[in-house]
Structure 1
């Protein structure tokens, strides 16, 4: 009788520990998914900042060289870039964002999810 009570207590304790282990594993997986999402967002923002920095640097270089046609084209790209970025909804961006990319000396559009 005493042995049965002890065995029942041990089974209950084992069951509780297994439930806690499952809950801890689920929480760990959720935290890992969040970490990966945050890393992707960080990488996207870094890439976007590099693109903007390059566009601004090229704009300033065109300004210094007096190349007003290139300057005007880049100015339009900057305005378009800012306008599209302002239209994004939430951290996911609500779809594809358009970023300016330099292609063969001209600025084109690159689509980013």
Structure 2
């Protein structure tokens, strides 16, 4: 969602994310965390952003009404796509192991 949010902001004519955050009344660090993907927005925040950007919440979330699915896969690097594909092809037990490993790696990365 982070790449999509940045594209929507720029398409709406806001080249600077900190100025956009100020314009919509959101702390610049909060907005940066949304756009970087470090934090998720709640439903009200998605709605307010959609109003400010002149788009729908579906545009922000990546919901494709034609396919009835999210379009997130377009934004993944080849490495990320490989991880997603391997996760989906794994048994539930291995999916749990993959999730635990990813959480541990992310947590350790944040500490450094």
TM range (shorter): under 0.3
Q: Compare the two structures and name the one with the higher strand fraction.
A: 1
Give the structure-1-normalised TM-score. Answer: 0.26
Q: Whose RCO is larger (CA < 8 A, sep 6+)?
A: 2
